[in-house]
Amino acid sequence: MVEQVDGKLIDVKNRISMKNTRDFKLVTIKYLKYSLLLVFGLFLGWLFFHPSKGDKTSNAISGEAIQSTTWTCAMHPQIKSPEPGKCPICGMDLVPLEKGASSETDPEAVQLSIEAVKLADVSTTVVSRQHPVKEIRLYGKVQTDERLLQSQVVHVSGRIEKLGVNFTGETVRKGQVLGKIYSPELVTAQQELLEAARTKLTQPSIYKAAREKLLQWKLTDNQISEIEESGIVQNTTDIISNCNGIVVARRVSSGDYVSQGTIIFDVADLSRVWILLDAYESDLAFLKKGEKVTFTIQSLPGREFSGSIVFIDPVIDATTRVAKVRVEAENGSGTLKPEMFVTGIVSSSLNEYRNNVTIPRSAVLWTGKRSIVYVKLPGTGEPVFRLREIEIGPMLGEEYIVISGISEGEEIVTRGTFSVDAAAQLEGKPSMLNIVNDGTGKTVHATFHVSGKCEMCKERIEKAASSINGVKNGVWDIDTKEFSMDFNPEITDISTVQKAIARVGHDTELFRADDETYNKLPECCLYR
C-alpha cells in the first residue's frame, strides 16, 4: 500500500516499522538512566554508612560489656544477677552494679568522685593522740546531812500547854524555848527539891538526889536554880532546844498528851549538805573517792558549785540499778535546799589509755558487736575509702578511745560516713550490710515504744535491754520514745526485752511497769 505525503509516494508498512523502532530506543535509554541513578545511590550509601573494622571491634566490646553487667538491688546489695529483673526480696527493679576505678588499686575499696564527695558533704579527719579524759554526767538531789539531823523529844510525860515553834521551816537556836509542858511528875519533883533545899545543910545527900532527878529530866541548871530561888512550884516547864537548825517536821500540837521520849520536832542543820548522785554500774569504774565534782542546780542557772566524793555506796539498788555517790558541800548561805535537782560532772583522767588514739563518735558505724570506720587510702587521685573494723574503748563525750585497728596519722571519714557506706553497698564492696558473718547467728531488727522523759531514762532503758543475752545493741530516742534494737531471735525475743525494760520502771507496748517500781524513780523520770 502506497500513500502520497508531500508529493512523495511512501510505503505505509515501512513507515510504521520505523516508528516502532524509534520508540523502543527512547524507552531503553530512559530505563538505563534510572538504573544508573539507582546504582550510584547504592554506592553512596555504602560509602557513607558502611562500618569500619574499628567500629566492628567497638560494637563487639560494647556487646560483651552489656553481657557482663551485674545487676543488683539498691535496698539489698547482697542480691546479684547477670540479667535485669526484679529483686526477689522487695520486688524493686534491679540496677546495674557500678564498677569503681578503685578496683585497680584495691578491689575492696570504694572510690568517689570529687563532685560526689562535695555533694554528700563527706569530710575526713587525721587521727591523733590526745590526753584521755572521760566526762561522766550524774544526776541526783540535795539531801540533808544525816549526821546533822536531830530529834527534839520530851523527857517527861505530860500535856503540851504551848508551842513556841508552830510551823516547819522555822529556824531554831540552841537554848531556845520550843514550848511549855505540864507534868504532874515534874510538879512533885519540884516540891521534893524545895523540901530538900531546906535541909541541904543537914542532909545534903537528899538535896543532891532531888536535884539530880531534875537534871535527868533535862532541866537546865538555870531552871533548877530559879525554882530554888523563887521557892514556888512551877506548873509548867520549858522545853529547851539542844541544837541549831531548821525545823523540818512538827509532830505535836498544843494540848497533846505526850509520853516520855516522844519526838515533837525534827531539826536539821543545813550549814553543810549532801549531794546524792545516781551512778550506773558502767560509771562506777571511773569514780573514786576524793575526786572533784562540779555540779549545777536547775533552779539556779549560771551558778556552779563543787565538792569532793566522800562515799560510794557499795551496794547496787536492785530496782533502779544505781549506786549512790555522796558529795559533801558547804552551805553556810543556805542556797542549797534539800530535794533540789542536781546535775554533776566528774572529769576522770584515764591514764591507762594515754597511749591510745581517739576518734570522733560520728566516724563509727555499728553492726551488732562490730565497730567499723572508713579509712581514706593515701596516694590516690580521687578519694578512695576502705572499710576497716576497729575495737573501741570508753566513750569520752563526743569521742571514742580506740584500742586497736587505727594508727596515728591515718585519715578517716568523720562526716558523711553513711553516704560512703551506701556507695560501697551499691558497688558490692564490704559495708555494714555486706560483712562476713561473725558466727554469732542471724540478726533481726525491731522497734517499739517505751515511755520515759530524760537522759536518766535513756541510760536505764538501754542498760536494761543490753543485759538480756542475745541483744546486740539498742538505742532509745528521747524525742520519739522509740527503742530500736538488733537481736538474735534464736536466743531471745521482743517480749523478753520489753519485760526487762518494764521491770526497771518503764512502760512498753506489751508490759506496764508496776507502781512500786515506778514510784521509786527520780522525779525527773516520772512520765505518767
Q: What is the pLDDT of residues 448-470, one digit of tens each?
A: 899 999 999 999 999 999 889 88
Give the percent of the chain with pLDDT over 70: 81
Question: Cβ atoms within 10 A of the Cβ of 35, count?
Answer: 10
Residue 20 CB contacts under 8 Å (≥ 6 apart), including other chains? none
Comparing 228 with 26, which gets the higher pLDDT?
228
Other Cβ atoms closer than 10 A to 268: 19
pLDDT for position 404: 85
The answer to whether the Cα torsion of 417, 423, 425, 429 is positive or negative is negative
pLDDT attached to residue 352: 80
pLDDT at residue 63, as a whole number:
44
Instruction: Look at residues 317, 320, 274 and name the one whose alpha carbon lies nearest to residue 519.
Output: 320
Tell me, what's the pLDDT at 50?
53
pLDDT digits (tens, 9 = 90+) for 175-209: 888 888 888 888 888 888 888 887 777 788 888 88
Helix, strand, or coil here: 200? coil
Q: Please answer whether residues 239 and 264 qualify as being in contact, where contact means their C-beta atoms are separated by less than 8 angstroms.
A: yes
Question: Are the beta carbons of 373 and 413 closer than 8 angstroms?
Answer: yes
Q: Please determine, for residue 275, whether its predicted confidence score (pLDDT) is greater than 90.
A: yes
Cα of first residue to Cα of last residue in the chain, in angstroms, is: 134
Q: Which residue has the higher pLDDT, 254 or 433?
A: 254
Rounded mean pLDDT, 26-33: 59
pLDDT of 348 reads: 84
Residue 211 to residue 225: CA distance in whole angstroms: 10
* Cβ-contact 341, 274 below 8 angstroms: no
Q: What is the pLDDT of residue 67?
A: 47
CA neighbor of 429 nearest in space, from 77, 113, 128: 77
Q: Which of 174, 138, 195, 127 is nearest to 359 (CA)?
A: 127
CATH class of 110-132+353-426: mainly beta
Per residue in 9-27, pLDDT (tens digit) is 445 455 545 555 555 555 5
Least reliable range by pLDDT among 114-123, 483-492, 503-512: 483-492
Contact 464, 453 (CB under 8 A): no
What are the extents of the domains in the chain? 2-49, 53-97, 110-132+353-426, 146-268, 272-349, 444-525
Q: What is the pLDDT of residue 16?
A: 47
Residue with the bigger pLDDT between 323 and 132: it is 323
Return the closest-CA partner of residue 385 out of 346, 425, 326: 425
DSSP E strand stretches across 397-525: 399-404, 411-415, 444-449, 471-476, 482-487
Report the Cα 347 to chain-centroid distance in Å.
Answer: 19
On whether the CB atoms of residues 340 and 298 are closer than 8 A, the answer is yes
**DSSP string covering 109-132, please?**
-EE--HHHHHHTT-EEEE-EE---
Q: Does domain 444-525 have CATH number 3.30.70.100?
A: yes
* CB distance 239 to 154 below 8 Å: yes
Q: Rounded to whole angstroms, how far apart are CA atoms 227 and 62?
A: 122
The domain over range 146-268 is classified in CATH as 2.40.50.100:
yes
User: What is the structure's pLDDT at 15?
Assistant: 52
Per-chain mean pLDDT for the chain: 81
What's the confidence (pLDDT) of residue 342? 94
| The pLDDT of residue 417 is above 80 | yes
pTM: 0.52
Multiple choice CATH, 272-349, 3.40.50.10090, 2.60.40.3080, 1.20.1290.10, 2.40.30.170 = 2.40.30.170
Q: Which residue(s) pair with 238 in the sheet?
A: 180
Q: Residue 102 — pLDDT band, cuts 50, 70, 90?
A: very low
Q: 117 — phi, psi (to 5°)?
A: -65, -40
Same fold, 146-268 and 272-349: no
Task: Report which of 460, 465, 480 is spatially closest to residue 525, judged by C-alpha positions.
Answer: 460
CA dihedral of 196, 199, 200, 202, whole degrees rounded to 10: -140
36 or 52, higher pLDDT: 36
Please determine, for residue 68, whether its predicted confidence score (pLDDT) is greater than 80. Answer: no
Most confident of 40-44, 262-266, 395-399: 262-266
Q: Where are the alpha helices (DSSP H) in 388-526?
A: 417-426, 455-466, 494-503, 515-519
Q: How many residues make up the chain in this entry? A: 528
